[in-house]
Amino acid sequence: MIDLMTDRTHDEAKQGEAYAPFNGDPNQYRKRFYIESYGCQMNFSDSEIVASILNKEGFGATRHAEEADLIFINTCSIREKAEQTVRKRLTEFRKLKEEKKGMLVGVLGCMAERLKSKFLEEEKLVDIVVGPDAYRSLPTLVDEAEGGQKAVNVLLSRDETYADISPVRLDSNGVSAFVSIMRGCNNMCSFCVVPFTRGRERSRDAESIINECKDLFERGYSEVTLLGQNVDSYSLPLPPSQGRGTEQFFTFAMLLEKIAQIAPELRVRFSTSHPKDITDDVLHTMAKYENICKYIHLPVQSGSTKILQLMNRTYTREWYMAKVDRIRKIMPDCGISSDIIAGFCTEDEQDHQDTLSIMEYSRYDMSYMFVYSERPGTLAERRFKDDVPEEVKKRRLVEIVELQNRLSLESNRKDIGKTFKILIEGDSKRSDKDWMGRNSQNKVVVFAKEDYQLKKGDYVNVKVEDCTQATLLGKIIN
Ligand code: SAH
Ligand code: SF4
Ligand code: F3S
């Protein structure tokens, strides 16, 4: 079977390479914690908040689970497979727990929110269950669990944004950081569990976002990615005198502009954009600032209007295509990527063909592609039958993946001969004689270091000479 999970950040874990600044004194921390994160970038970003909260309580992070007094697993519920991965990992922790008396295991994130105290009944080794809006209560819950109680807090909040908490950067390359600008989601796409696990949408105070980005830049970071399930609906009420013209809200376009103005050398990215919410104002702001990256993740989900309606995506096929046209008109060099679901309820061969043709039309540079996985409690689970047979779903997904592979290769071939400004992220995976970085369009570019005295975080002009489906290969241009 081929592995169709193309994105590490969606289903696979990144190890808890968390470590807090440690001054060498083994008694500096009263306890050690290990944290492992699954799911989307929001979850990885939340783990950095959790690390910060625990640090303040005198807990230090470790990269090695066997050294830890507390093991945390920040979980994802988006597809059934994501939950299975977490359960498997929990059984592996059972062994450690048996060997080390007093070790506590905590489940954080979306699966904790979805299952609540049921988790404690189902997984006997779990001691602590904490939902995404309750991380401030972690220290108290740890105390309770140490006292032998089962500790649970899965309250969702209407206003928690952790705005005042300065995240501890975990597993960072020191070049690029994620900054959470909002939480929750109000969209209710019928297939999606996120509105139930993350609660109502709320925007984080703008000043705290801008200050966090400034601070990152001052500490040597060269790139920030603004995160939210639906960043384009970022909105804060404005006093009338401060609006741009008649506007009464501080919008995502305004936030983007403020962050772009911090420094021309600070690259700005954002994710995710719901096609219904991305405005011309955002597109023009992107076009106006060289340091706002020309790349939009614009999940289509399906190319069939009938399916889009059942998904409650609120746009039609034609409407989406017009949005792609608009982006290409305002920014001809903009990269576009997508999320696609194969085999949603009632999807027939014509609907599937519509998905393939909208992919061709949009010429995605990259896509995250999934088979539909029914989630308990969602609108689709309650209203529709999951009626596309598993083998049909898989066959359609294979066709989608094969088409995307061709589109990615075609897109990369078009870049041969072009010169791009690359932000160096580090050594290439294959060789420490090569650098790896990204262009504005988010494409990975690999090139020889040669004798230039460069370091990660530097910008360099690279001419593309060759490519694979996933990578551009180039040479430094003086
Ligand atoms: N807020 C983002 C998406 C978050 S989830 C957005 O709206 O774009 C990331 C992706 O997972 C979704 O875009 C969708 O393609 C996929 N996904 C979500 N629920 C799913 C399900 N039940 N089955 C299969 N894929 C799903
Ligand atoms: Fe889920 Fe839709 Fe919200 Fe994205 S916009 S998180 S797919 S409900
Ligand atoms: Fe998963 Fe929750 Fe993110 S369900 S995709 S970790 S918001």
pLDDT tens per residue, range 88-111: 999 999 889 889 889 999 999 999
Residue among 478, 463, 363 nearest 416 (CA)? 463
Q: How far apart are CA 133 and CA 156, in angstroms?
A: 5
Give the integer Cα–Cα distance in Å for 405 and 359. Answer: 11
pLDDT attached to residue 25: 52
Higher pLDDT: 94 or 269? It is 269
**pTM of the shown model:** 0.93
Mean pLDDT of 253-277: 97
- Does 233 have pLDDT greater than 60? yes
- pLDDT exceeds cutoff 70 at 4: no
How many Å lie between the centroid of ligand 1 and the Cα of residue 217? Answer: 31
Among 195-199, 235-239, 406-410, 433-437, the least confident range: 235-239
134-144: average pLDDT: 97
Q: Which pLDDT score is estimated for 18?
A: 40
pLDDT at position 120: 86
Residue 464's Cα: distance from chain center in Å?
28
The protein residue with its alpha carbon nearest to ligand 2, atom 2, reads 189
Rounded distance, CA 61 to CA 99, Å?
20
- Residue 475 C-alpha to ligand 2 middle, in angstroms? 40
Whether the CB-CB separation of 358 and 340 falls below 8 Å is answered with no
Q: What is the mean pLDDT of residues 217-242?
A: 91
Contacts of 213 (CB under 8 A, 6+ apart): 179, 224, 259, 262, 266
Pocket test for ligand 2, best of 185, 271, 273 (most atoms within 8 A of CB): 185
Looking at residue 246, what is its pLDDT? 63
* Lowest mean pLDDT segment, chosen from 7-11, 201-205, 378-382, 401-405: 7-11
Q: What is the pLDDT of residue 244?
A: 61
- Half-sphere exposure (CA, 13 Å, Cβ side) for 414? 11
Residues 176-413, CATH architecture: Alpha-Beta Horseshoe (3.80)
Please compute the mean of the pLDDT values over residues 57-71 and round it to a whole number: 93
Question: For 370-385, what is the mean pLDDT?
Answer: 98
pLDDT per residue as tens digits for the range 320-363: 999 999 999 999 999 999 999 999 999 999 999 999 999 999 99
CB of 300 shorter than 6 A to ligand 2:
no
Q: Which of 10, 77, 189, 379 to mutate to test the pocket of ligand 2 (most atoms within 8 A of CB)?
A: 189
pLDDT higher than threshold 60 for residue 17? no
Location of each CATH 3.80.30.20 domain in the chain: 176-413
Picking from 62-66, 425-429, 445-449, which range would have the lowest pLDDT averaged per residue?
62-66
Nearest ligand for residue 81 CA? 1
pLDDT at 243: 56
Superfamily of domain 20-153: Methylthiotransferase, N-terminal domain (3.40.50.12160)
Task: Write down the CATH superfamily of domain 419-476.
Answer: Nucleic acid-binding proteins (2.40.50.140)
Return the residue whose CA atom lies nearest to atom 14 of ligand 1.
Answer: 339
Average pLDDT for the chain? 92
- Which residue intervals of the chain bear CATH 2.40.50.140? 419-476
Residues with CB under 6 A from ligand 3: 39-40, 42-43, 76-78, 109-110, 193-194, 197-198
Q: Is 224 in the pocket of ligand 2 (CB under 6 A)?
A: no
Give start and end residues of each alpha helix (H) in 131-205.
Answer: 138-146, 194-198
Which residues, in sequence order, are CB contacts of 433 under 8 Å at separation 6+? Answer: 448, 449
What value, to the nearest 5°, has the Cα angle with vertex 102 and ends 100 and 106?
A: 100
Helix (H, G, I), strand (E, B) or coil at 472: strand
Using the mean position of ligand 1's atoms as its centre, give its distance from the Cα of residue 429 in Å.
29
Q: Which ligand is nearest to the CA of 393?
A: 1
Q: Dig out the tokens for 342 from the structure.
A: 């194969």
- Of 417, 420, 455, 378, the residue nearest 192 (C-alpha): 378
121 pLDDT tier (thresholds 50, 70, 90) = confident
C-alpha 228 to ligand 3 mean position (Å)? 11
pLDDT at residue 62 above 50? yes
**1-10, 55-64, 293-302, 449-458: which range is least confident on average?**
1-10
Classify 301 as helix, strand or coil: strand
Distances (CA, A) of 330 to 285, 334, 387: 10, 9, 41
Centre of ligand 1 from the C-alpha of residue 169, in Å: 26
Residues near ligand 1 (Cβ within 6 A): 78-79, 191-192, 194, 229-230, 272, 274, 299, 301, 339, 341, 370, 372-373, 375
Verify whether ligand 2 is closer than 6 Å to residue 189 (CB atom).
yes
**Torsional sign, CA 130, 131, 134, 136:** positive
Atom 4 of ligand 2, nearest CA residue: 229
Q: Which atom of ligand 1 is nearest to the CA of 187?
A: 7
Give yes or no for residue 194 CB within 6 A of ligand 2. Answer: yes
Q: Which residues lie closer than 8 Å to 133 by C-beta, 6 or more apart?
A: 155, 156, 157, 160, 183, 199
Tell me the mean pLDDT in the region 210-215: 98
pLDDT at residue 242 in the model:
66
Give every CB contact of residue 468 below 8 A, 6+ residues apart in sequence. 409, 412
Ligand 1 atom nearest to 297, measured from its CA: 8
Q: State the pLDDT confidence band at 457, using cuts at 50, 70 and 90.
A: very high
